[in-house]
Each structure stands twice: as C-alpha cells, then as structure tokens.
C-alpha cells in the first residue's frame, strides 16, 4: 500500500514542524512490520526555493500540483513570523498563491488535511476550518480565531481531529499528531514502534479516547521493560510466564514485577491479560468464531478461562463484545 504525502512549504518554514512529522512517516515506511505502509513523501511549494526558520536553504521544491490523487495526505507546515520585512513580503506572496490552490484544487478533492502548528493559519485563510474544531500553537490561537471566526479553536490541546482535518499545536506536537494518524492508518503497534525509535511518548489529548492496550503503558524509557513489552505485544498468545518475561529482561521475577509497577503501573501478568483480552475482543467483533476458538486464539486455555479473566478487567461478558450480540 502506497500513500502519497504532500508536505506544503512556505518561506521561513519551521524545520521541526517539517522534519518531525516527516521522520515519523519515513521510519514507518522503512519498518519491516507487516502493517508497514509505503509513504511517498513529496515536498511542494508556491516557490521553487526558500529559506527555513534556521537559515537552511531548501531548493528543488516541486510546484503545487494541478490535481491530487485519491488517498493523498496534504500536510500544511507552519512558518515562523519573526522575519525581516523582505522575508515577510515573500511569505505573503507565497501564502496568497497557496490560498488560491487550497480553494481551487485541494478543497474540491476531498482529501485529508493535516495542519502542523501555524499551518492551521493557511487552512483558515482558505476557509477550510469553518465549522470545524481546530487548534494551533498556543501563541497563535487568537490569530487563528480571527482568521476563522466560524471555527471552534481549542486551546491547550496537543492536536484535534474533526472529520478529514487534523491540526496540531506547536513544534513537537506535530510528531504527536503524525503518530496518532499513523496508528489510525497502520495500527497502534507500528506507531508505538516508531515512537520508541524516535524516543518520544505516544500521547493523546485529554479529550481523545483512552489509549488502546497496545499503546498504554509505553510512555517510559526503561529498555528492559520495553523489551518484555515488545515480545508480548508481538506474540500475546504464546505461553508466557513471569519467569520467561524475567529472563527476557535479564532480571528476577520479583524485580521485574517492581519494574512493571514503577514504569507501567500494573503487574506483568495484568499487562499480558489486557493484551489477550484485546485480541479476544477484536476476534469477537470481526468474526463469528465460537467462544472456545476465540479463547484459544487469544491465548486463553479455554472459554471458561477467558470469561474468568474478562470479568476481572471488563464489564459484562465476552459475548457482549460480539457485534450484533444482545449479551
């Protein structure tokens, strides 16, 4: 599966707003995971060359395309406003061209829009945020609301998604947003793997749903605990024991339990059980397999064992998780 991604750049582009999200997709595309997606990263601009926020020149930029292929992700990257008068004039000229392109080419295409930091201001100028929830860098929220009076600007959010439009707050929040979108496109396991490679946390804003079991408990930096979590996540249905987990961590069972409580907040067995319940729930929702088969494939010895563990962590019964079930 190949997904074209257009990073749209204006003069004085903030390098971290560009490099952070792009690096998320690069690492995802190079992953050997089964869910990996080939992201085709392209860099386009109203101008063929520009200077970045750190003074690094970028040349050879492709022009804004006359049309967009289905499934294209368009990423509007923010620019710094702390520039000279001449740089401001160059930015405004390019911004006007971008606004016309967004209105005439992007808007009719129905593709997904991702605004990183001040990139939301470009979307606002084109009227793309009207009637939608959005966010941006905390210092720019008032300016965004002025440009998009019909939008609902949310402050103190890492990112906000409203339909096909997603917006992030400033700087590193662009990485958080792209990890979130990667989890949607390719699954949370790949997103979590990329987050670890970048040495960042998998975070979500306060209004978003709770973390899935695949991601929950991974916002720490202890390598031995991550090693155990990686192994369990890759094969939650294997015959795991705390002793086997401790051997992977090169420590004792008792010390591993202490490490899990300190860094994950639950015991190693609780972590294993929550993943197996998640597998069982996914099977129940996506298939018509009988309960014994579901239990076996999820790593439980029997349907009775599944029900006992399920009751410890969930409300209701396993059968209530099946689509169309009355309970």
pLDDT in tens, 282-296: 888 878 899 999 999
The predicted pLDDT at position 51 comes to 93
d(CA 278, CA 297): 12
For residue 210, name the pLDDT band (cuts at 50, 70, 90).
very low
d(CA 212, CA 183): 10
Q: For residue 46, how many C-alpha atoms fall within 13 Å in the half-sphere facing its CB?
A: 19
Q: Between 4 and 172, whose confidence is greater?
A: 4
pLDDT, tens digit, 9 for 90 and up, residues 143-174: 999 999 999 999 878 889 999 999 998 878 89
pLDDT, tens digit, 9 for 90 and up, residues 73-115: 999 999 998 888 888 898 999 999 999 999 999 999 999 999 9
Question: Positive or negative CA dihedral for 172, 174, 176, 182?
Answer: negative
The predicted pLDDT at position 19 comes to 97
Tokens 């994950």 correspond to 264
How many CB atoms neighbour CB 191 within 10 A?
Answer: 25
Tokens 């939608």 correspond to 132
* 3-state helix vs strand vs coil in the chain, percent to 5: 45, 15, 40
Q: Are 63 and 105 in contact (CB under 8 A)?
A: no
Least confident of 12-26, 216-230, 244-258, 267-281: 216-230
* All domains of the chain in start order, with CATH: 2-197 (3.40.50.880), 220-327 (1.10.10.60)
Q: Tell me the pTM.
A: 0.70
Which residues are paired to 8 by β-bridges? 44, 76
Q: Is the pLDDT of residue 211 over 70?
A: no
Report phi then psi at 147, rounded to 5.
-75, -30
d(CA 160, CA 166): 6
Q: Is the pLDDT of residue 207 over 60?
A: no
Q: For residue 308, how many C-alpha atoms fall within 13 Å in the half-sphere facing its CB?
A: 6
Percent of the chain with pLDDT over 90: 69
Tokens 């563990």 correspond to 309
The predicted pLDDT at position 258 comes to 97
């Amino acid at each position: 599966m190949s997904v074209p991604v257009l990073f749209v750049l204006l003069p004085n582009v903030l390098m971290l707003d560009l490099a952070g999200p792009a690096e998320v997709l690069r690492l995802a595309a190079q992953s050997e995971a089964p869910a990996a997606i080939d992201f085709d990263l392209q860099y386009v601009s109203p101008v063929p060359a520009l200077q970045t926020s750190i003074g690094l020149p970028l040349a050879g930029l492709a022009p804004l395309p006359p049309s967009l292929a289905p499934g294209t992700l368009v990423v509007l990257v923010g620019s710094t406003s702390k520039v000279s008068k001449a740089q401001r004039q160059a930015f405004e000229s390019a911004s006007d061209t971008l606004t016309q392109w967004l209105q005439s080419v992007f808007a009719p295409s129905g593709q997904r829009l991702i605004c990183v930091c001040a990139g939301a201001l470009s979307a606002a100028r084109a009227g793309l945020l009207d009637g939608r929830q959005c966010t941006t860098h905390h210092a720019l929220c008032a300016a965004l609301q002025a440009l998009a009076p019909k939008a609902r600007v949310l402050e103190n959010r890492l990112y906000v998604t409203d339909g096909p439009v997603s917006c992030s707050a400033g700087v590193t929040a662009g990485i958080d947003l792209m990890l979130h979108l990667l989890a949607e496109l390719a699954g949370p396991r790949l997103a979590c793997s990329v987050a670890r490679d970048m040495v960042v946390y998998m975070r979500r804003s306060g209004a978003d749903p709770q973390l899935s079991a695949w991601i929950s408990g991974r916002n720490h930096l202890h390598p031995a605990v991550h090693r155990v979590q990686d192994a369990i996540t890759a094969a939650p249905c294997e015959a795991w024991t705390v002793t086997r987990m401790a051997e992977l961590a090169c420590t004792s069972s008792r010390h591993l339990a202490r490490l899990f409580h300190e860094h994950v907040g639950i015991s190693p067995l609780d972590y294993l059980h929550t993943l197996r319940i998640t597998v069982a729930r996914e099977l129940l929702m996506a298939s018509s397999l009988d309960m014994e088969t579901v239990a076996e494939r999820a790593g439980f010895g029997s349907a009775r064992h599944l029900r006992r563990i399920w009751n410890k962590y969930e409300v209701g019964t396993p059968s209530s998780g099946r689509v169309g079930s009355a309970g």
